[in-house]
Chains A and B, each alone.
Chain A
Amino acid sequence: MSQFFNYDSPRAQKARYARHMAHQDVALMTLICAWVLLIFGLGVVWGVRSSWGWLLVGLAGPLWMVGSWSRYLRDIPSQPNVQTIDGVLEPSLLGVLPREHTPKELAKLVMTTPGGRFIANRFGLGSEFLEPLVSGAAADTPKIWQEAERIRQLTGTTELTAAAVAAALIRSLPSVNQYLASAHIDQDDIVQGAAWYAHIRESIALRNQPRHDGGIGRDWSFGYTPLLTRFGYNLSEMPASNYLHAGLPSRDAAIQQVMHLLSQGGRSNVALVGGLGSGKTALVHTLARKLMNSDLSIPRNLQFCQIIALDPSSLIANAPGRGELESLVQRLCYEAVSAKNTILFLDDAQLFFEDGNGAVNLSNVLMPMLEGGALKLIMAMDEQRWLRIMQATPALAQYMNRVMLAPTDETETRRLMEDQVLVYEFRNHTLYSYQSLQAVYRLSSRFLNEQVMPGRALKLLETAADFAEDGFVTKRSVEQAIEQTQGVKVGTADTAQERETLMNLEQLIHERMINQTRAVQVVSDALRRARAGVRNPERPIGTFLFLGPTGVGKTELAKSVAAVFFGGEERLVRLDLNEYSGPNDVNRLIADASQDQNSLTAQISRNPFSVVLLDEIEKAHPHVLNTLLQLLDEGILRDINNREVSFRDAVLIATSNAGADRIRQHIEAGEKLEQFEEQFTNELINSNTFRPEFLNRFDEIVLFRPLTPEELLRVIDIILKGLNKNLAAQKLTLHVDDDAKRALVDAGYDPRLGARPMRRIVQRAVENIVANQMLSGQAAPGSEIRITLQDVQTMLQRSKAE
């Protein structure tokens, strides 16, 4: 195909005529007028016996011609054999192109066509963006056509769409990458956008083709199915919205396989096995629609077969008595066999083969029918259920041919979304940007683990419509949908307040804990990296091992992170690993939410955006530690049902008191943490406390040093601050003298226990005094309670005596 444009080619001329003439209304109105004039004219000639009626008849002729021509002009097929660009150019653009045009003029004209506007709107670029940026030199036009032709070949279409021309113009911009980057896209995305537009045009053309549904006598050779109509849904008669619109290679192959299995003699039954959301039901809907078309690719014995899905709830409700259900199902099966054109479909087939609420075991009824081979049956279920049925009723599994339905890959999911988005747009009066579709795929893969592709992407796509801004669904709308439904933060920090928080994380954390500056620093850095979007998204936000004596702030730091960054201390998932010291405790760790709501996987499935605190990790069984290895490495843990649970939005903190005495010895010897950190880690490995491969998987191993009496004074201040906060509700303030605080520290100081005794001491000495004063009426609302050294000493002596 050359890069030249032949203004005088018949197709170009036709497109120009079509611009004015090829409107449905024009064609219809002129043809109606022609008929009216013809009938009226003949009426005048014959009825009134006036020869002037012929003039009306004569007028009908040109009108008829115009109407017919207008209808013809609506369809201008491509002529790929023509060597100039006008042979394949989309008529809406071809009809407006002047003989000579610069890229600038071309850009202006492209934006008047649906294809050009499609690119401008879907990418959020605006229809005015292109014209000022492209070249104004006519000599550059052939290059644009050349590029457009290249895009046409890349997208594999016959027609050169206006969207492809718009894409070519964008790709010809001098600083295209920089320009596109500001819209969060690249050049490949623009080509994908052109392919999307071409696909829509092809789908519309395909839909407008006549269907060959067999006509009025189609079902006369097949039996009536009154019972099945009552207890099931005829998928073949359902509206077209439930089937797969796009021709997806993996799904087409599965449909072919199902058709082959159903058409062969003998046991022509299919078990469609795939994860939730893999599109099993949609595939059967597609098959139902396909079978109702006299297509040569359909085996003769399946042509015009109807697929009826049985409704288990309706069956159970209508057959309450003992044995009634079995008899009813038997009659339904006989009816399906007798009709000779009916395939039964058991969606969520486990409901028919398991005893329980809303379920019933019909394997004994169905098995003889399946064995005979007369009944055609399709079952759909997930792999776990299939395995369970195989285990419980191996004979049943033997009669079925399993067809696995794998999740769709990115290309297929994108194609499905592109089709489905048109339905959602029509339904919700919204417009989805291209970037929103990218975000849907990325975020649904990461956060919606309860389903597989394409179900999870379509689910998020639909939810995102609720977060549209001015009817436009953007990348941000999708992020908000995920943030609201999953309780995670996925976008980069975008509000001034959040940026302020991130920049002052250390300060905010230090409001709750004393010293341990290095620990606070490494955790804060990890959180900042996460919210700036520069971290590795395939791993948790941060994985830390906190080592140090008890009461030095390890747990408090985890709580502080949960409160400051994740929005509240309830975002802390805490597991005491001394409770996981047995080899079988792994099962408890990864238990399904339905069995144990407090298992690690269940809690993170509910709240993926959390701090996971694994306390006393050295006490966990090696099997438990092995299980945690994958979690530390990839941020993924598989639950007991082999479902992936993502920890990629969590901060993982493991704590241990191992080697606490050694840390104290080093500190007492006057060494700084940084000086003996490496040596200390080696000691832990050499003493077999931790295996090196385990320690290596943490982002940081942070040593906490024992608190000094001066630091404990600040801990007392924090505790008193909390107490004052509680008293504020009763309009009281508490003041503790400095020497009294010192006495509290002296009384509670124990280098082995750190800050832990401080809270007990404050409780014993301070809170008791406050309580007594309040109850005795000494502390009236609005007053200040002052606690002196003497008060503290008295209380401490009293409690010691007790």
Chain B
Amino acid sequence: MLLALVSWWYTAGWSGLMEKAGQRSARLLETFSVKLLLGSLFDPFRQISAGTTRGGSFDMQLRALGDRLFSRAFGAVIRSLFILLGLVASVAVFVFSLVQLIMWPFIPLLPVAAVLLALLGVHL
């Protein structure tokens, strides 16, 4: 069983970890709706000023245009912020996964290394 565990660790276990790292990053990007927000970056935010102004006075139309522009600008800012947050979180997860991938082959050696460190009296 030990042999099976060790052989899995360096084959399917390691490659599975890489796969999981990719999935984790993708999930995070989806949680922050990065793709959706990029596609609708300049859409009015929550359609707040999307009411029809057809047939209205010039003043009304001008005001509606202003509202719309504000809504779009506000939406673009909020969306950009969340896209940025999503990307940062995704990169953080990616870095964490990378560290995990690098550390992975050394974990079976941890008991031996730990005994050596203890005997050598290594402190942090």
User: A69 contacts which chain B residues (CB < 8 A)?
Assistant: 5, 8-9, 13
Assuming the A-B contacts A51-B122, A52-B118, A69-B8, are A223 and B48 also in contact, with contact meaning beta carbons closer than 8 angstroms in the complex? yes
Query: Inside 8 A of A218's CB, which chain B residues have their CB?
Result: 33, 36
Centre residue among B8, B121, B122 by max chain A CB count within 10 A: B8
A58 & B113 in contact (Cβ 8 Å cutoff): yes
Question: Are A17's CB and B1's CB within 8 A?
Answer: yes
Q: Is the CB of A57 within 8 A of B114?
A: yes
Q: Is the CB of A57 within 8 A of B110?
A: yes
The interface residues of chain B lying within 8 Å CB-to-CB of A54 are 113-115, 117-118, 122
* A157 and B111 alpha carbons, distance in the complex (Å): 45
Q: Given the complex of chains A and B, what is the CA–CA distance between A626 and B110 in angstroms?
A: 92
**Known A58-B110, A220-B75, A221-B40; contact A51-B33, beta-carbon cutoff 8 A:** no
The answer for the CA separation of A575 and B4 in the assembled complex, in Å, is 83
Query: Which residues of the other chain, B, contact A212 by a CB distance below 8 angstroms?
Result: 30
Contact across chains for B110 and A60 when beta carbons are under 8 A apart: yes
- Give the contact-size bracket for chain B: 35 or more
Instruction: List A contacts of B56 (CB < 8 A).
Output: none
**Interchain CB contact under 8 A, B117 and A340:** no
Q: Does B37 contact A (CB under 8 A)?
A: yes
Query: How far, in angstroms, from A770 to B50 measured CA to CA in the complex?
Result: 94
* A72 at the B interface (CB under 8 A): yes
Q: Are A66 and B5 in contact (CB under 8 A)?
A: yes
In angstroms, Cα B43 to Cα A535, docked, is 70
A77 to B95, CA, bound (A): 29
Inter-chain contact count A-B, CB under 8 Å? 124
- Complex: how many Å from CA A41 to CA B8? 27
Q: Which residues does chain A contribute within 8 Å of B113, judged by CB atoms?
A: 54, 58
Whether B9 lies near A65 (C-beta < 8 A) is yes
Could you mark each residue 24-65 of chain A with 1 if its beta carbon is under 8 Å from any beta carbon of chain B, else 0? Answer: 000000000000000001100110010111111111111011
- Chain B 52-93 interface residues, beta-carbon cutoff 8 Å to A: 75, 78-79, 82
Whether B118 lies near A338 (C-beta < 8 A) is no
State which residues 210-256 of A face B: CB under 8 Å: 210, 212, 214-224
Of A52, A59, A220, A340, most B-chain CB atoms within 10 Å: A220
Q: Classify the secondary structure of A's interface with B.
A: helix
- B4 touching A62, Cβ below 8 Å: no
Q: Which residues in chain A, 310-368, are within 8 Å of chain B measured between CB atoms?
A: 338-340
Chain A contributes a number of interface residues (CB within 8 A of B) equal to 42
Q: Scan B4-16; emit 1 where CB is below 8 A from any A CB, else 0.
A: 1100110011001
Q: Which of these, B8, B47, B82, B119, contacts A217 with CB under 8 Å? A: B82
Measured CA separation A62–B108 after assembly (Å): 6
Q: Is A153 close to B, CB under 8 A?
A: no
- The residues of A that contact B99 with a CB separation of less than 8 Å are none
Asked if B4 and A13 make an inter-chain contact with CB atoms under 8 angstroms apart, the answer reads yes
Q: Indicate which residue in A68, A214, A222 contacts B47 across the interface (CB closer than 8 Å).
A: A222
The CA-CA distance from A52 to B82 in the complex, in Å, is 46
Report how far A42 CA is from B121 CA in the complex, Å: 14
Known: A72-B12, A216-B33, A340-B47. Is A45-B123 also a contact (CB below 8 A)? Answer: yes
A221 to B71, CA, bound (A): 10
Residues of chain B within 8 A (CB-CB) of A68 are 9, 13
Nearest-neighbour CB distance to chain B for A376, whole angstroms, equals 15
Contact B8 A72 (CB under 8 A): yes
How far apart are B15's CB and chain A's nearest CB, in angstroms?
11
Closest 8 CB pairs of A and B: A58-B114, A61-B110, A223-B47, A217-B33, A215-B33, A54-B117, A58-B111, A54-B114
Known: A55-B114, A61-B107. 9 other contacts (CB 8 A): A58-B114, A61-B108, A61-B114, A66-B5, A69-B8, A69-B13, A215-B34, A216-B32, A217-B36
